[in-house]
A and B are shown apart, each in its own frame.
Chain A
Amino acid sequence: MPKIPRPGPLSRPAPPGERVNGGNGNGASPVDVAKDAGADTLGWIDERTGGSSFLTGMLYRKVPKGTNWFYTLGSATLFAFTFQALTGVFLAMYYTPSPTQAYGSITHLTNDVWMGEFVRGMHKWGATVMIVCIFLHMGRTFFFGAYKYPRELNWVIGVVLIILTLVMGLTGYLLPFDQRSYWATIVANNITGTGPVVGPYLADFLRAGPEIGATTLARFYAIHMLLVPGLIIALIGAHLYLVVKLGTTAPPWMKAARPKAAARKEEVG
């Protein structure tokens, strides 16, 4: 495996005038300066951010024995989300969230825009991939018992992320504004309305009034591309922070290194 070039530990730079190599390149040949340009740039950033120690800590952290492919499902979900965000930005460049123009803009971007069908297909199927991945990830966490102390909070954050992902699915479904979107959203809105006392108000809030109207689509669009993605990004940050901070668990079939009695004694003490 090739050695990854990364800057060494922090050191105070030599005072000006004492520098031999680097710095302003005093005494170094242009070739040497060019060779070191990459490391110099990284070093310049690292000196000012301390980022390399953070990255080293995160990327070279210890993982338990027995870590396997099931542990990649969270990363797969993150990748799917990143892909959704990217393709979504490009779809937003052509989409018009107006009841009279939404369907037309979707057919335009699908049929006329170069690669539009591909980008839209990626977003559409990527949504399914993300839902599948996130539930497999949840199942892995559950069946491996990885939600237990001290990782309960990360489980809670994960459940909120699943709900937000489903909200993305619900709000995104209306955007093509064809017959299927329209009636599916009517049904979803009315299911919201069946909750006693607060349900009718929640449904009104989602619909922006008594009927699906001019502002419903814009409202779903804003929730789909501004509100929920922001929440998801923030919660993914917290989720990853806790993963790095607490570490991952070994799969349940890995035997404990010490006899059980000793481990229990240690817990009690």
Chain B
Amino acid sequence: MADEGNDKQGAPKGLPSPDPAGYFEGESMNRRAAFTIGVQAIGGLAGAAIVLPAIGFAAAPLFEEEDQPWQAVGSTSDFTPDTYQAVVITAVEDIGETGKTTAFIRQGNPTITANQTKYPPETSDEYIAISTRCAHLGCPVNFVQAAGNFICPCHGGVYGFLGERIGGPPVRPLDRFQTRVVNGQVEVGNRFSVTNSLDPVRARDPGEFTGGVWEYLYPPRPSVPPPP
């Protein structure tokens, strides 16, 4: 770089060659390099000013709070401990039928969970709300009364009476919804997922394992509410 400009037109031979264009004595960077860096920095800033907000704009829904309002689904006398009642609840507001989903609800059944230690015991004053969203890829499962199982039409996932996985490709039991009883009405709230031993964890999407190291390999959305 230092020799640049020596072949400038008009520099007479035999005389000391003039300084390179744009140099002052002792300068470590010439004008051209300074301008190149400056213009690139300004261009980068201008680009980032447009691109970064656009990316944030597209990714914003990931961070939205998603607390479901409690929805009343029927009186306590509508539900029995031995079978499920299908109820339609609203998962997403304001988009009509698209935002609806189905849950299967029953009263807690102490006798089913009495003689085993694998699953947490149930009491008859609680209500169990099972999501129809298959834990494989999200198809709607149906409770088949004759078999006492939940069966998925898409890829053959089968779940037992408690929603536990007993066959097919699903990776975990069926999700559940939080429930409570207010003035004799059963209300359904936030979704949560369960591990293979039916311990509640934060809600995951279908196809994602729960429990153990899987909790780190399939991290929950930052805004998912904690399990009960």
Contacts and interface: CB of A to CB of B under 8 A. Distances in A.
Contacts, number: 81
Interface in B85-136: 91-92, 94-96, 98-99, 136
A99 B139 contact: no
A199 B219 CA distance: 9
A55 interface: no
8 contacts: A100-B96, A187-B138, A190-B206, A190-B207, A196-B218, A200-B221, A204-B61, A209-B64
A209 B66 contact: yes
Interface residues of B, number: 31
A24 B224 CA distance: 76
Interface string B19-61: 0000000000000000000000000000000000000001101
A80 to B, nearest CB: 29
A193 B207 contact: yes
Interface of A: 99-100, 177, 182-183, 186-187, 189-191, 193-194, 196-197, 199-201, 203-205, 208-215, 219
B66 A210 contact: yes
B151 to A, nearest CB: 16
A194 B208 contact: yes
The list of the 9 closest CB pairs from A to B, nearest first, reads A194-B207, A99-B95, A193-B205, A208-B61, A209-B61, A196-B217, A213-B92, A186-B138, A190-B137
Contacts of A177: 98
Q: Is the interface of B mostly helix, strand, loop or mixed?
A: loop
Interface string B55-77: 00011011010100000000000
B220 interface: yes
A212 B218 contact: no
Contacts of A204: 61-62, 221
B139 A186 contact: yes
A100 B100 CA distance: 12
A99 B96 contact: yes
B98 A193 contact: no
Nearest to B66: A210
B154 interface: yes
